[in-house]
Amino acid sequence: MRKIAQIALAAAFAAPGLMLAQSMQTQSVELVANLSGANENPAVDTTVAADVSILMDFSGSFDDDGYGDILDYYGNNDTDADAPEALGDVKKVTVHMQADISGLAGETFTGGHIHKGARGANGPVVINLDVTEMTPTTASTTVTTTVELTGEMDIATAFAVVANPQDYYVNLHTTDNPGGVVRAQLQLSGDSRTESLERKITRLESRLIMMESTLANVDKNVANIGRRVGLNTSSNQVVGSAN
């Protein structure tokens, strides 16, 4: 009986409809930060402040690796046969930044970067947000940029940032403060946390449905095989046997 069940189970899992299909998709993770001069090292006495949103769009396919959420995917090497790359099937990360800046009176905004570093420590630039030099005509302004990351090292960096945003900070620069006028550590937005949880729940629900379908197929296959060999699957006895 055990051998029959094993054969049926293998047949059920081999059914094409039960395999996780590869699909191209884009998943987004939003990081936010509230920047101030007090966070600079050393601190900067300034009226400048900024609210920054960084949206990272990861484009590729994740389902064939069993990861329904990009935040789960980081740190898990791709093992599928079609893509031997260490980072799997993610081919591009598009980084969108929006910075709502206030208090810039008379200062020229010269750049913005994501740095690796803890709070109160200075660290290297890991992602250039590609901000061009500009002098706002008003004290408050909004700056938006878009950067595409396609190299393996750049994509790996994007994964690392969304996996542990608290280990990275955004730094904005001006002509008066070329080393940085305001900065803050990154964190996941509330929306990204909620969306991540919703994707995990959806993923679990899908797996439960697949398991139910698989078990139903197993029961059917066991019954069919049992009938062929003359086995009464409800009593574990061979039909016609005295025992």
Strand-pairing partners, residue 111, are 173
* DSSP calls for 155-219: HHHHHHHHHSGGGEEEEEEESS-TT-SEEEE-EE-HHHHHHHHHHHHHHHHHHHHHHHHHHHHHH
Structural contact between residues 111 and 172, judged by C-beta atoms closer than 8 angstroms: yes
User: Does the residue 210 lie in any domain?
Assistant: no
Residue 212 falls inside a structural domain: no
Q: For the chain, what is the largest distance between any 2 Cα atoms, rounded to a whole number of angstroms? A: 100
Q: Which of 54, 55, 53 is nearest to 27 (CA)?
A: 55
Q: Looking at the predicted structure, is the pLDDT value of residue 67 above 70?
A: no
Q: Which residues contact 212 (CB under 8 A, 6 or more apart)?
A: none
Residue 117 lies in a domain: yes
User: Tens digits of per-residue pLDDT, 167-184?
Assistant: 999 999 999 999 999 999
CA distance 71 to 63: 13
In a domain, 97, yes or no: yes
* Residue 24 binned pLDDT confidence (cut-offs 50, 70, 90): low
Over 90: is that where the pLDDT of 208 sits?
no
Q: Which residue, among 42, 68, 8, 88, has the nearest Cα to 197 in the 3D structure? A: 68
**Which residues form the domain of 148?**
17-197
Q: Which residue has the higher pLDDT, 148 or 238?
A: 148
> 142 pairs with which residues across the strands?
100
Q: CA-CA distance, 52 to 2, in Å (whole number)?
A: 60
Give the domain CATH number at 166: 2.60.40
How many distinct structural domains can be found in the chain?
Answer: 1
Inside any domain, residue 128: yes
- Its pTM stands at 0.67
pLDDT for 89-122, tens place per residue?
A: 788 999 999 999 998 877 888 999 999 999 999 9
Model pLDDT for residues 120-161, shown as the tens digit of each residue: 999 999 999 998 888 777 888 899 999 999 988 899 899 899
In a domain, 233, yes or no: no
pLDDT in tens, 3-13: 333 333 344 43
**Contact criterion met (CB below 8 Å) for 90 and 155:** yes
Does some domain include residue 234?
no
Helix (H) or strand (E) holding 127: strand 125-128
